[in-house]
Amino acid sequence: MIRRKTQSSEHWQDYAITSEDLQYLSTLLVEDELPRSTEELSQALVAHHARQEEALIERALSKGTPYRPKRRYEVGERVVFPVLEYRSGEVIGVRPGHNPEHEPFKVITVRFEEGEEREFAAEFEDGHPLNQAATGDTDADELHLPEELASLYAPIVAGRLEKRLRSEQDFVRLANKWFRRDLLVEVHAGHLNLAEAVLDLADGGPMATEALLGDVELPTEISPQLRVFSLNYVLQQDDRFDEVGPAGEVLWHLARLEPDAIKETPITLRYEPLEYEPPLLTSEMRSLERQLDDEWSDLEPPDRVEEPVEIVLIYPHWRAGTVPLSSRLSQLFPSARAERIHFTFVDGDTGEEMPGWVVPRGRYVYGLKDWYRENNIIVGAYLEFAQSEAGNRYVVRPRQRRSRREWVRVAMPRDDRLVFEMHKEEIACDYDELMIMATGDLEGLEQLWKHVRQQGCSLSQIVKDVFTELVKLSPQGNVHAATLYSAVNAVIRTPPGPVLEVLVTGDRYAPVGDNYWVLHVGASGV
C-alpha cells in the first residue's frame, strides 16, 4: 500500500497553483486549440497531477523494494522510500540495532543516488507506524481514477486557479473561457469592418460570432472554437460592437443602432436613493411593499416564481416603455455580466415579436413603448410575463377584458405642481383600482418632472402636495398608500418605502386601517 497525495482532500485544500501548472495548461490549450473554462482547466489539472503521481510511483517502484521497517534487507539491495518522495538507494551495510525498549532489530545503511547516506530500522516488528495498514495509505481497491479525482477536487482548485489566471497577462478570458493571448488568431481592421457591415445589414443584430465568421474569413486551418474566441476577443475591444447575449451565449450588436433608452437611463427611471428607516414601517406596510415589488425596494428575491409573473404598471415604466427588473421579474428575464442583454418580447395575443433589452444596472427591461400605445395600456394595468418555449423569448400580455369607458384619475401638470381630476377614459385591459391613473399633457408632465429634479423638491413636500390632491377625489377623505405611491411616481421616481415612512413620521397623516390614510383634523391642505 502506497500513500498518494492526490487521493487526499487535505492536499487539495492546501494546494497552490505553480508556474509548472500554468505551463501544463498552456500546452493543453495549444495542443487542441480549444479555449476552456476555469472548471474544465481545474479538472484537467487535478487529473494531470494524479496521473503524474502514479507515473512517479511506477517508476520509483521499478527501481527497488518499497521500504517497510519490518522487512529484512541485504547488502546490495535497492530500496524505495515512499515517505521521502520515492527516493531510492542501495543498502551498503547491515548491523544490529540497540534499544532496550524494543525487541532485537537491525539497522541498514542506505546510500542514495546523490551520495547521501542514511540509516533506517529493519526487521523491526514492534508497532512502527510505517508497518501499519491504517496509516493513511490507500488500498488499490480504494483508489479513485484521475477522472474521479477531477470531479471531486476541481471545485476546490477552481477558485485559486481563476485568481491566478486573472493575474497572468498571458491568459485572456471571454464568455467564461480561457486561452493564451499570444496564440490568438490575428484579426485585423478589415475583418472588423466586414463584421460591422454584416451587422449593419442585419439592422444592427444581434448575431452570434459563428454567423459572423461566414463573412469574416479567418484561417480555416485554425479550429472553429479558436476562430470564434479570437474574433470575440477583438470585437470586445472595439467600441463599435456590443456583446448582448444572455449568460452562456455570445451575441453581437452594433452600438450605434441600439436604442438610446438602454444606453442612458430614461429620466423617469432615474432613482436617486432616499434614506429611510425600514424598522419604522408596520408589518402591514412591509407586506404592501413586498406586494408592490418595486425594483428599488430592498427585497429578497423569491427562491422561485410561478409563471406568468404579474405586475402592476406604474407611470415611470409606462412613460419609458419599460418594466421593472424587480425581485420577481429578475428571476424570469435573462441575466449575464453584460451591460445590456438582448432578447425578444412576444405578444401573447397576436404572436408579434418585439426586440427587448434587459439593463441590469438600471434595473429595467426596455422594449414595450410602442406596444403600450398600440394596445391602449394604462398606468395601473395588470401585465403578465412568461418565458416562451422558444429560446430567449418572453411572452407579455395584459390581463384582458372588454374595452369600455370608465371614470379614472387623470394626472395633469398645473402651475409647476401635479393635480388630479376624474375623467371618463377608454380602458382596454384589467387594472388595479388603487393604482390606475390616466395622463394628460405628457410634455407638461415631463417638464414638471424636470422642474422637481432641478428645484430639489423634498419627498415630504411632494407627498404632501399629492396626498392633498388625492383626498379631494375621495368621498371618504382617505387615500390608500398604494394610490399615493403610484401618484407620487408621476413626478419623482421612488420605491414605496420612503413614501410610507413619510406617512408614518409626518404629523399630517393618520392611519385608518388596511393601508388607508387620512389628513389629521386641522391639517391644512395648502
Query: Pick from 416, 517, 504, 515: which is nearest to 460 by CA?
Result: 504
Whole-number pLDDT of residue 402:
74
Q: Does 342 score more than 60 pLDDT?
A: yes
Q: What percent of the chain has pLDDT over 70?
A: 95
513: CB partners within 8 A, 6+ apart: none
Cis upstream peptide for 206 (omega within 30°): yes
Cα–Cα distance for residue pair 330/334, rounded to 1 Å: 8
Query: Pick from 212, 248, 214: which is nearest to 232 by CA?
Result: 212
Cα-Cα end-to-end distance for the chain? 91
Domain boundary among 174, 207, 222: 174
170 shares a domain with 104: yes
160 shares a domain with 124: yes
Amino acid at 354: M
Q: How many residues in the chain?
A: 526
Whole-number pLDDT of residue 129:
64
206 shares a domain with 288: no
* Domain total of the chain: 4
Query: What mean pLDDT comes out for the span 103-132?
Result: 83
Cα–Cα distance for residue pair 77/73, rounded to 1 Å: 7
- Please, which residues bridge with residue 382 across strands? 312
Whole-number pLDDT of residue 486:
97
Query: What mean pLDDT comes out for the span 88-115?
Result: 88
Residue 56 falls inside a structural domain: yes
CATH of residue 189's domain is: 1.10.10.10
Whole-number pLDDT of residue 66:
82
Q: What percent of the chain has pLDDT over 90?
A: 64
Domain that holds residue 444: 409-519
Q: Does 491 score more than 90 pLDDT?
A: yes
CATH of residue 344's domain is: 2.40.330.10
455 shares a domain with 366: no
The full DSSP string for 363-396 is: TEEE--HHHHHHTT--BTBEEEEEE-SSTTEEEE
**Weakest-pLDDT range from 2-11, 273-282, 293-302:** 2-11
359 shares a domain with 429: no
Residue 269 falls inside a structural domain: no
Q: Does 332 score more than 70 pLDDT?
A: yes
Query: What mean pLDDT comes out for the span 387-394?
Result: 90
Cα–Cα distance for residue pair 320/510, rounded to 1 Å: 34
Domain boundary among 174, 195, 229: 174
Of the two residues 86 and 112, the one the predictor is more confident about is 112
395 shares a domain with 310: yes
474 shares a domain with 493: yes
Give the C-alpha distances (Å, rounded to integers) separating 73 from 122, 192, 310: 7, 73, 81
Whole-number pLDDT of residue 522:
62
**Weakest-pLDDT range from 76-80, 249-253, 260-264:** 76-80
243 shares a domain with 366: no
Cα–Cα distance for residue pair 331/303, rounded to 1 Å: 9
pLDDT digits (tens, 9 = 90+) for 493-516: 999 999 999 999 989 999 999 999
Query: What mean pLDDT comes out for the span 334-360?
Result: 94
138 shares a domain with 29: yes
Q: Does 524 score more than 70 pLDDT?
A: no
Query: What mean pLDDT comes out for the span 207-225?
Result: 88
470 shares a domain with 387: no
pLDDT digits (tens, 9 = 90+) for 124-160: 876 666 765 433 344 555 788 888 899 999 999 999 9
Quickly list H helices, 75-188. Answer: 146-166
415 shares a domain with 398: no
CATH of residue 429's domain is: 1.10.10
Give the C-alpha distances (Å, rounded to integers) separating 178 from 162, 167, 174: 10, 13, 7
pLDDT digits (tens, 9 = 90+) for 51-65: 988 888 878 777 788
Residue 162 falls inside a structural domain: yes
472 shares a domain with 422: yes
Residue 526 falls inside a structural domain: no
Q: Are 426 and 403 in contact (CB under 8 A)?
A: yes
3-state helix, strand, coil in the chain (%, to 5): 35, 25, 40
Domain boundary among 381, 402, 423: 402
Residue 273 falls inside a structural domain: no
